[in-house]
Amino acid sequence: MTSPRITIVIAAWQDPAGLAGTLESLAAQRESDPEVIVVSPAGSHDELAARFPWVRWAQTSPDDLIPHQWSRGMAQAGGDVIALTTAHFAPAPDWVSSLRRAHARLTAPAIGGRIEPPRGGRAVDWATYFLRYSAYLNSDRERTVNDLAGDNASYKRTALETNRDLLRDGFWERELHRRLRGEGEDLVFIPEIRVTQHGSFGFHRFLRQRFQHGKQFGRSRLRGQGPALRAVAVMASPLIPAVFLVKILGRVVRSGRDLGPFLLALPVLLCCLLAWSLGEACGYLAPASPGRSRRFHHGSVIV
């Protein structure tokens, strides 16, 4: 793939806090002419629309989660490569050019990059980082990985078109990554492709989000399995917070840094882990039925 055109899909919220910083980071990279689509329950924000006239705006339901917002934006994307992030991240000055070089050089359908922590952030910001992105604390070389965080991931359009069924009820990146690996495809992590977390959800909103994401994970994890296995999974779900916490703490210790922010964020982190485990248990008890899938049809071959 030579000099692919990049489409950037940004999930945002009714409150545009943080979005201006994300768009300012991209404004300095406009010479490469990426397509930028912001998906928000509020649609376009008048002030931001005036400041950044090159942004396309798409509206989604207030009840939609980030994966549903990404799916809506991906349905309208015209690029050869579709890159994802949210309004809580500021791309590095060379983010777009790094994405373009990586996809031109590699045949991998999915390429992701490093997520830098929220230096000087609140406890809830750090809790978000440790829960979602602590795997990046020790990532400093290009390598093949088992998973990528959707907040700094990019996909060749052909891979999304081939797997369009996985975008019908939101883009849950783990499901696509699992299928790609099963087909013998590589997911590649490149540390030079960087974004920095500069915010997060508020505490209560993040708790609700963790519950909903855990519920979706529980539904998909045991899809097609019988009630006996589901009952065992529900009984084991109280162990989930401890397993996650040990894994996160191990990453922090191995990195040799950010132990102070970890201790600051620990109470919030524990609450979020409990919300996830409760959601996952509910997902095991209420598997998704075919009629519950919300399908997006926006004239794109992707979905």
- Would you say residue 219 lies in a domain? yes
Q: How many CB atoms lie within 10 A of CB 46?
A: 9
- Would you say residue 293 lies in a domain? no
Q: How many CB atoms lie within 10 A of CB 172?
A: 22
Whole-angstrom CA distances from 8 to 23, 265, 297 are 11, 31, 20
Q: Do 214 and 177 reside in the same domain of the chain?
A: no
Domain that holds residue 64: 6-200
Dihedrals phi, psi of 118, to nearest 5 degrees: -85, 75
pLDDT at 294: 40
Picking from 200, 225, 256, the residue at the C-terminal end of a domain is 200
- Would you say residue 299 lies in a domain? no
- Would you say residue 301 lies in a domain? no
Q: Do 85 and 167 reside in the same domain of the chain?
A: yes
* Model pLDDT for residues 63-106, shown as the tens digit of each residue: 888 999 999 999 999 999 999 999 999 999 999 999 999 999 99
Q: Do 26 and 147 reside in the same domain of the chain?
A: yes
Q: Do 130 and 262 reside in the same domain of the chain?
A: no
pLDDT at 142: 96
pLDDT at 209: 84
- Would you say residue 186 lies in a domain? yes
Which residues of the chain have a pLDDT value below 70? 1, 287-303
Q: Do 20 and 44 reside in the same domain of the chain?
A: yes
Q: How many domains is the chain partitioned into structurally?
A: 2
Q: Do 211 and 247 reside in the same domain of the chain?
A: yes
Q: Do 133 and 196 reside in the same domain of the chain?
A: yes
Picking from 134, 167, 200, the residue at the C-terminal end of a domain is 200
Dihedrals phi, psi of 176, to nearest 5 degrees: -65, -45
pLDDT at 288: 55
* Angle in degrees, 0-180, between the axes of helices 203-221 and 173-182, rounded to the nearest 10: 30
Q: Do 152 and 169 reside in the same domain of the chain?
A: yes
- Over the chain, what is the mean pLDDT? 88
pLDDT at 203: 86
Q: Do 239 and 110 reside in the same domain of the chain?
A: no
Q: Do 180 and 217 reside in the same domain of the chain?
A: no
Q: Do 130 and 39 reside in the same domain of the chain?
A: yes
Sign of CA dihedral 146, 147, 148, 154: positive
Picking from 200, 233, 266, the residue at the C-terminal end of a domain is 200
Q: How far is CA 80 from the centre of its chain?
A: 19
Q: Do 142 and 73 reside in the same domain of the chain?
A: yes
